[in-house]
Amino acid sequence: MGTSVCFLNLSSCPRLRLSTFRILSSAEIGVSRRQVLEQVDKELSKGDERAALSLVKDLQGKPGGLRCFAAARQVPQRLYTLDELRLNGIETASLLSPVDSTLGSIERNLQLAAILGGVAAWNVFSFNQQQILFISLGFLFLWTLDLHEAGHFLIAYLVGILPRGYTLTSLEALKKEGSLNIQAGTAFVDFEFLEEVNAGKVSATTLNRFSCIALAGVATEYLLFGYAEGGLADINKLDGLLKGLGFSQKKADSQVRWAVLNTILLLRRHEAARSKLAEAMSLGKTVGSCIDIIEDNVNNADI
């Protein structure tokens, strides 16, 4: 826990000027950060993304402020071989070939679901076997979504993109947006990216950020389970973006390999923050509260 020092000059006599200081506690600093994040939530709820991002940038990197925003320690960008990825424990076939809602995932998770919740529910509520199956799979699906979206949220914040909001279920989307025509996922303050796209030139920095964000969900699943089941749409979007920018296959492969390595290493380094963030998102905490949790669970030595 760091401290900040405020100096106040006091004159005790015409010929002598003394300096005294007061130490600000981390609690005092924390109140300031929380107040700003509450205002960020208000601006986001009003749809004023520019104002929300401005508040975050004003507090970026300041003592007691938002030291983690855009502060990720990233790997150098160059062409990495598949062997180099394997040396870092990354098998791209398991990470970049996700499928959505397969029978295989049901078969792999069914026994775990029954052990964790099914038997207890059967005994307490007298549910039949089919009801147990649906309930158990439902909880597993929501749990996986929490983990997946926490990966997107965390990586976005660390590389300098402000999350705008998130939904984990269609019911939540109905409550927040008044529509069921919204998929579960995390939304971002991306007007700067759209401005670059409309101008016909996307900077390398912007592309790097969104490449890592796109892969963060499948990377999280890969680290936790050894394979990625969800996130096919994320990978397709990244592939479409690279093709739209006119990338050759070799250049696209280089971009994706760098983003995979960078994202995996960031998630490994900040596993504690990601875990706490997933818990907060499962409880429906606000964007500002989620950011506060990230700031509280990232060590200075890791950024």
Tell me whether residue 303 is in a domain: no
Q: Over the range 229-240, which residues count as b (16 or more CB within 10 Å of their CB) and which as e? A: bbbbebbeebee
Structure tokens at 40: 């960020």
Tell me whether residue 210 is in a domain: yes
At residue 104, the pLDDT reads: 39
Spatial separation of the C-alpha atoms in residues 238 and 140, rounded to whole Å: 27
CA distances 245 to 168, 197, 203, 209, 287, Å, are 31, 9, 11, 15, 31
Decide if 75 contacts 258 (C-beta within 8 A).
Answer: yes
At residue 26, the pLDDT reads: 42
At residue 175, the pLDDT reads: 52
Spatial separation of the C-alpha atoms in residues 277 and 296, rounded to whole Å: 10
Residue 8 amino acid letter: L
Tell me whether residue 293 is in a domain: yes
Tell me whether residue 27 is in a domain: no
Tell me whether residue 154 is in a domain: yes
Q: In order along the chain (303 residues), what is the average pLDDT of each group of 10 residues?
A: 42 43 43 90 95 95 91 93 92 71 39 43 46 37 63 95 82 48 72 87 92 92 80 81 89 93 96 94 93 94 85
At residue 211, the pLDDT reads: 94
At residue 148, the pLDDT reads: 81
Structure tokens at 278: 């997933």
Residue 172: Cβ-neighbour burial (10 angstroms; 0-12, 13-18, 19+): middle
pTM: 0.73
DSSP output for the chain: ---EEEEEEEEEETTEEEEEEEEEPHHHHHHHHHHHHHHHHHHHHHT-HHHHHHHHHHHBT-TTSBSSTT----PPPSPPPHHHHHHTT--HHHHS---SS-HHHHHHHHHHHIIIIIHHHHHHH---HHHHHHHHHHHHHHHHHHHHHHHHHHHHHHHT--EEEEESSHHHHHHHHS-S---SEEEE--HHHHHHHHTT---HHHHHHHHHHHHHHHHHHHHHHSS--S-HHHHHHHHHHHHHTT--HHHHHHHHHHHHHHHHHHHHHTHHHHHHHHHHHHTT--HHHHHHHHHHT--GGG-
Nearest in space to 77 (alpha carbons), one of 245, 264, 208: 208
Strand pairing report for 185-188 and 163-167: antiparallel
Angle formed by the axes of helices 129-159 and 249-269, to 10°? 100
Nearest in space to 163 (alpha carbons), one of 29, 24, 303, 277: 277
Per the structure, the count of domains in the chain is 1
How far the first Cα of the chain sits from its last, in Å, is 15
At residue 22, the pLDDT reads: 42
| Domain ranges, residue 218 | 33-297
At residue 197, the pLDDT reads: 82
